[in-house]
Amino acid sequence: MFDKILVANRGEIAVRIMRTCQEMGIATVAVYSEADKKALHVLTADEAVYLGDAEPAGSYLNMDKIIRAALDSNAGAIHPGYGFLAENAAFAEKCEQAGLIFIGPPAKVIRELGDKTMARRIMVKGGVPVIPGMTRAEADPAAMAEEAEKIGYPVLIKASSGGGGKGMRVVNGPEEMEPGCIAASSEAAAAFGNGAVYLEKYLERPRHIEFQILADAHGHVIHLLERECSIQRRHQKIIEETPSPVMTPELREEMGKAAVAAASASGYVNAGTVEFLLDREKNFYFLEVNTRLQVEHPITEMITGIDLVRRQIEIAAGGVLDLSQQDISGRGHAIECRIYAEDPENNFFPSPGRIAFLKEPAGPGIRNDCGVYEGAQVPVEYDPILSKLVCFAENRDAAIQRMVRALAGYVISGVKTSVPFLMDLFQSKAFMSGETFTDFIEEYFADWHPADPPADLAGIAFIVDEMYSKTRVKKTMHPTGNTASPWETLGNWRG
């Protein structure tokens, strides 16, 4: 087993990985940029190494700096988390060349599955159903239009590399093909350094369902049930749950076998996720394999009781997976929502700034993987995710009600967040009935706005300011002897 692991990431995922390392008695090394000198992951680690500029290219994407940090700190392995270098085959190779263990699949697997067209060819060979579409990248819009005629409109232009909704455009007819190709290719090149794109048949109102897999280097492969990830904005997930409201035991078995077949066909090792689209007739099609730990992995941990980060580390250290498919069962229902510093009223535009006040939700069945603290700065340079709020209960209805309560108690001031939007979404009839599809937000929340504030808000603000000013002058004391905060002196209030 490793004595020390460097976590090549930041924010909530870096903190989450470090906590499992600490439980395993493994020392941790953080890396950080200029913007993250006082970040929570830096404070959580046993030691930290400064990388440089706030721009990712000079810090979290700089392979040589990260590998040098691992060698200089005597770390035996690097955990990439998700994002940044997590699915970079060249980085995995550099780790191996430097004598470091990359906690993830082999570089060859990352490279082949990271190329979406090659991944499709692997799945076809492995007998996994795929969405009708191209098995090669194409740069010529005219050639793409010819393929679209064969496939049938609407079609989806997709980036051959990367994910997270980048480089994707829906095309409804030939006249949209050229501008769609140019836009998708340009966005893919900016996001992944590779502008290659291809076509797939666009499925209308599908569900996005994925299966967590674990595979060791000794030929053992299992799945850890499904996650429903259909609630998305700009093709990026914001809510996940398990089990899926639409799942039946028969469909779960069939999709689970396909997920294991996909992992086996690609020679997969470590934790990963096989993603599918499920149409309205309950036909499922391979979408992609994410060769890393997923943002939504906590809900799988909640229903199975399995620590996925611990399993990743054990597999990377050469351990044998001591679980069989028969050992895996789920209990209860878990839901996760991603808390972003963003403005839902303004197309979810990022909202960087300083967190002036933070009150995290608590109580039975609540887990909050948080990467910030009160007073922390949310930088503009990175993904604005603040935390992942997870609620677990005996059934879906109870889990939803627990999530609503948890969100109501989640107070973050200083930056705009998605909390009010999420509260309305969870309480909508469509979500509560399980009618979740990938166009859910466009269908039901395209024009969402928060409830109107009280008409006399300005007057309330004046009174609050007056009260706070007086408490500062009088040095109002708490019964314990500490100065009372304005939140205690204001009485009942709503964030």
Q: How many CA atoms lie within 13 A of 291 on its CB side?
A: 31
pLDDT in the model for residue 166: 80
340 occurs within a structural domain: yes
Mean pLDDT of 213-227: 98
Mean pLDDT of 219-241: 95
120 occurs within a structural domain: no
292 as an active site residue: the answer is yes
pLDDT in the model for residue 305: 97
Check whether 455 has a pLDDT greater than 50: no
Same domain, yes or no, for 63 and 180? no
45 occurs within a structural domain: yes
Check whether 344 has a pLDDT greater than 60: yes
Q: Name the domain boundary from 153, 175, 201.
A: 201
Q: How confident is the model at residue 476 (pLDDT cuts 50, 70, 90)?
A: very low
Same domain, yes or no, for 169 and 49? no
Q: How confident is the model at residue 468 (pLDDT cuts 50, 70, 90)?
A: low
pLDDT in the model for residue 460: 47
Cβ distance 82 to 75 under 8 Å? no
Residue 197: give its domain's CATH number. Answer: 3.30.1490.20
Q: How many CA atoms lie within 13 A of 458 on its CB side?
A: 1
Check whether 40 has a pLDDT greater than 50: yes
pLDDT in the model for residue 456: 47
380 occurs within a structural domain: yes
Same domain, yes or no, for 249 and 349? yes
121 occurs within a structural domain: no
> Does the bond joining 174 to the residue before it have cis omega, within 30 degrees of 0?
no
Helices 396-408/419-426 angle, 10° precision: 150
pLDDT, tens digit, 9 for 90 and up, residues 288-311: 999 999 999 999 999 999 999 999
Residue 66: give its domain's CATH number. Answer: 3.40.50.20
Tokens representing 214? 């674990």
485 occurs within a structural domain: yes
Mean pLDDT of 437-455: 83
pLDDT, tens digit, 9 for 90 and up, residues 4-16: 999 999 999 999 9
Check whether 458 has a pLDDT greater than 80: no
**Of the ranges 341-355, 440-454, 467-481, the best mean pLDDT one:** 341-355
Q: Which of 66-80, 433-447, 456-470 is least confident? A: 456-470
**Of the ranges 152-161, 215-224, 467-476, the best mean pLDDT one:** 215-224
Check whether 355 has a pLDDT greater than 50: yes
Mean pLDDT of 447-462: 62
Q: Name the domain boundary from 201, 225, 260.
A: 201
- pLDDT over 70 percentage in the chain: 91
pLDDT in the model for residue 191: 77
pLDDT in the model for residue 466: 54
Instruction: Write out the residue range of the structural domain in which residue 152 sits.
Output: 132-201
End-to-end CA distance of the chain: 46
Q: Name the domain boundary from 61, 84, 103.
A: 103
Residue 273: give its domain's CATH number. Answer: 3.30.470.20
Same domain, yes or no, for 164 and 273? no
Same domain, yes or no, for 180 and 163? yes
Check whether 490 has a pLDDT greater than 80: no
Same domain, yes or no, for 260 and 396? yes
pLDDT in the model for residue 453: 59
Q: Which of 197-206, 224-233, 365-374, 403-412 is least confident? A: 197-206
Same domain, yes or no, for 230 and 359? yes
Same domain, yes or no, for 252 and 337? yes
Length of the chain: 495
Count of the separate structural domains present in the chain: 4
Q: How confident is the model at residue 451 (pLDDT cuts 50, 70, 90)?
A: confident
Q: How confident is the model at residue 465 (pLDDT cuts 50, 70, 90)?
A: low
Same domain, yes or no, for 163 and 303? no
- pLDDT over 90 percentage in the chain: 80
| 3-class SS string, the chain | CCCEEEECCCHHHHHHHHHHHHHCCCEEEEEEEHHHCCCHHHHHCCEEEEEECCCHHHCCCCHHHHHHHHHHCCCCEEECCCCCCCCCHHHHHHHHHCCCEECCCCHHHHHHHHCHHHHHHHHHHCCCCECCECCCCECCHHHHHHHHHHHCCCEEEEECCCCCCCCCEEECCHHHHHHHHHHHHHHHHHHHCCCCEEEEECCCCCEEEEEEEEECCCCCEEEEEEEEEEEEECCEEEEEEECCCCCCHHHHHHHHHHHHHHHHHHCCCEEEEEEEEECCCCCEEEEEEECCCCCCHHHHHHHHCCCHHHHHHHHHCCCCCCCCHHHCCCCCEEEEEEEECEEHHHCCEECCEECCEEECCCCCCEEEEECCCCCCEECCCCCCEEEEEEEEECCHHHHHHHHHHHHHCCEEECCCCCHHHHHHHHCCHHHHCCCCCCCHHHHHCCCCCCCCCCCCHHHHHHHHHHHHHHHHHHCCECCCCCECCHHHHCCCCCC
274 occurs within a structural domain: yes
Q: Which residue has the tokens 């690609």?
A: 266
pLDDT in the model for residue 467: 52
Mean pLDDT of the chain: 91
Which residue among the candidates 10, 292, 338, 402 is catalytic per the annotation?
292
365 occurs within a structural domain: yes
Check whether 486 has a pLDDT greater than 60: no
Same domain, yes or no, for 20 and 89? yes
Cβ distance 261 to 276 under 8 Å? no
Supply the pTM of this predicted model.
Answer: 0.86
Check whether 365 has a pLDDT greater than 50: yes
Check whether 225 has a pLDDT greater than 70: yes
Same domain, yes or no, for 223 and 355? yes
Same domain, yes or no, for 234 and 344? yes
